[in-house]
Amino acid sequence: MELPGLAFAVWMFICFYASVDSYPSGKLREACISMIPCHGSSPQLSPVHTITVNGTEFKPGDNIEVHLSGPDFEGFFIQARDAEHLDSPAVGSFMVVDRKLSQLLTCGRIKNSAVSHTSKAKKKYIKVYWIAPGDAPKRVQFLATVVKKYKTFWVKIPGPIVSQPNALSPTTPLHATSEAISTSHSVSYLSKPFNASGCGSMKFCIRNPSNCDPENASCFFLSFQEEKSSVFIEMSGPSEGYLAFALSHDQWMGGDDAYLCVKEDHHVHVSTAYLKGRSPPVLDSENVLEDVSWRLVDGILQCSFGRSISLPAYKGRFNLNASYYIFLADGEASEGGLIYKHRHQPLITNGIYNVTGLPQDIGGSRSPQLIKAHGALMFVAWITTVSIGVIVARFFKPVWSHSFLFGKEMWFQVHRMLMLTTVMLTSISFVLPFIYRGGWSQQAGFHPYLGCTMMALTIFQPLMAGFRPSRHAPRRQLFNWFHWSTGTTARILAVVTMFLGMDLPALDLPDPWDTYTMIGFVAWHVGIEILLEIHSYCLIRKVEVIEDDRVQILQSLTSAEAEGRLFKQVVLTIYVCGNIVFLIAFLAAINHI
């Protein structure tokens, strides 16, 4: 009995030693037969990860696409085995897609007969290819061991079974396969691009820009055409990752019926999905699409498919004979087909539409109307009214000091009118995003925080002006300093906030043109202020004469004042015209004119 005891001790030592390392590099050759990691605990019973394949039949030499997906996991181990003898050695070899996530192992004498992880980095999705050998059994089943954490793992998760053509039914029942096996459907390659013929007469179309041609490299196109009890759908657009559209009961992501065309390597995978809040789409295991086709040419992704108008058996699939808001989005995707958040705001229809109703040819907006109004009012307030008001107060006191408007000096009345207009426009603009979002936005970075600070300073400035001391009061200098510093801080914050806001997807301004235009405006305003400061300095130097020559001083002041008044009025006119040009440019960008 000493020998078995010694063997048991050696086995315990190996498991203990292996468990210390935990195979973080994924080189699990010791687990080739049992597929059990020596982690010192029992495996979980109910798998939460699934294995799917892109077909159900194979011939020797064929490549079968194998996917492992589910909640975050650290390690994995995939093999293919004889479906009727799952304790037999591994069958065939694998080819990896992403060498950063997966690596090939040799089990027994078969090279590359297993795949495992390369590190403990968390992952949700693995894609590999299985190459059928010449001596493959009639039926092959894929198995996977998945490690969520060191003590939490599942062993030999059963995957789908693939068979050689005309394989006879087994005499004994096979192990259960994963419930997530993909239903096969016909997929073909589009021989020619889509066109817009029939839009508005035979089919319902959405185009962005309006009336664009789907063959154009910048055109996003979506069409629906009713065919008896089904609808044929075409989707096209410039994308190196994915295109997607969704049917929604409102203009917010969440609880929507989505359809995705995702580029994977050199082909396109078309699937349905369900959108839950702002989380990534949950792809459906059931396949309800028919007549799937796709095309990838010169960066333009096109796909088409059909589906029944009503699918009561499939939860999450909306009936197509009702009215919905329609979203159209694009973005990047990884090599494994995982999609990333869209880089710019999705196109959203301005109202609800029934795609099986009266055919229409419509557009949409990538920027909601309330957000457009928010941006437009802020530009009007902080590019025109504030800037002109500051120039007037700083440089036009001596020019308009003897002119009166409604009983007050003209410069003061113009300045006050412009600043009150700024407060009104900013206040209206400030509430619009909250109305649109229904509360605070967690997706806008620092923009809302700086915006709230700027709004507080904007309200504080006129309140402080209401308590302005008289001109010769001792506290007047202190008031002047606070008034200037508060206004200057608000202006600087406004510029920074607008810079940040212009890059937000909801406004959808053309990048980097918008940034260059904003830089141009700042340079324009600073340049005008510097020009007027230099002019004021030169004017003062011009009237500096010998102190006792009173007549010369009066003559110099008279001519200098006339000259200074004309120059400043010309500069102000040019400045106002320049600001209007910048404002028109920004408003045109907001409305994509």
DSSP-assigned letters across all residues of 352-415 = -B-TTSS--EE--BSS-HHHHHHHHHHHIIIIIIHHHHHHHHHH-TTTSTT-EETTEEHHHHHH
Q: Which residue, among 161, 126, 172, has the nearest Cα to 145 in the 3D structure?
A: 126
Q: How much is the pLDDT for 264? A: 75
Residue 28: how many other CB atoms lie within 10 Å: 23
Strands 300-308, 290-297: pairing kind: antiparallel
Residues lower than pLDDT 70 in the chain: 1-31, 39-40, 167-187, 265, 278, 285-286, 334-338, 343, 401, 511, 542-563, 592-593
Q: Which residues contact 458 (CB under 8 A, 6 or more apart)?
A: 422, 423, 426, 427, 490
Structure tokens at 3: 């020998």
Q: Estimate to the nearest angstrom the gap between the alpha carbon of 35 and the chain centroid.
A: 40
pTM for the full predicted model:
0.54
Bridge partners, residue 65, by sequence: 129
Q: Cα–Cα distances in Å, from 118 out to 70, 100, 150?
A: 18, 7, 15
- Which position has the token pair 């009066």? 554
> Edge-to-edge strand order for the sheet containing 152-163?
102-107, 110-117, 75-82, 139-149, 152-163
Q: How much is the pLDDT for 419? A: 93
Could you give the CA distance from residue 179 to residue 46 in angstroms, rounded to a whole number?
Answer: 13
Could you give the CA distance from residue 222 to residue 303 in angstroms, rounded to a whole number?
Answer: 10
Q: Let me know: does 353 contact 360? Beta carbons within 8 Å.
A: yes
Q: Cα–Cα distances in Å, from 308 out to 207, 321, 440?
A: 23, 10, 39
Supply the CATH classification number for the domain 50-163.
Answer: 2.60.40.4060
> Edge-to-edge strand order for the sheet containing 267-275?
282-283, 267-275, 256-264, 242-248, 325-331, 347-348
Q: Which residue, among 178, 181, 185, has the nearest Cα to 285 in the 3D structure?
A: 181
Q: How much is the pLDDT for 557? A: 47
Could you give the CA distance from residue 499 to residue 454 in angstroms, rounded to a whole number?
Answer: 14
Within 13 Å and on the Cβ side, how many CA atoms surround 319? Answer: 7
Q: Let me know: does 498 contact 583? Beta carbons within 8 Å.
A: no
Q: Which residues contact 320 (CB under 8 A, 6 or more apart)?
A: 224, 231, 247, 307, 309, 310, 355, 356
- Per-domain boundaries in the chain: 50-163, 188-365, 369-592
Structure tokens at 587: 């408003």
Q: How much is the pLDDT for 39? A: 66
What are the tens digits of pLDDT across the range 59-106? 888 889 999 999 999 999 999 999 888 888 899 999 898 888 999 888
Q: How much is the pLDDT for 186? A: 54
Which DSSP helix (H) or strand (E) runs through 505? none
Give the CA angle between residues 475, 480, 482 to the nearest 5°. 95
Q: How much is the pLDDT for 563? A: 63
Secondary structure of 170-234 in the HEC alphabet? CCCCCCCCCCCCCCCCCEEECCCCCCCCCECCCEEEEEECCCCCCCCCCCEEEEEEEECCEEEEE
Could you give the CA distance from residue 388 to residue 550 in angstroms, rounded to a whole number?
Answer: 36
Supply the CATH classification number for the domain 188-365.
Answer: 2.60.40.1210
Could you give the CA distance from residue 7 to residue 540 in angstroms, rounded to a whole number?
Answer: 102
Q: Let me know: does 246 contact 206? Beta carbons within 8 Å.
A: no
DSSP 281: P
* Domain 50-163 matches domain 188-365 at the CATH topology level: yes
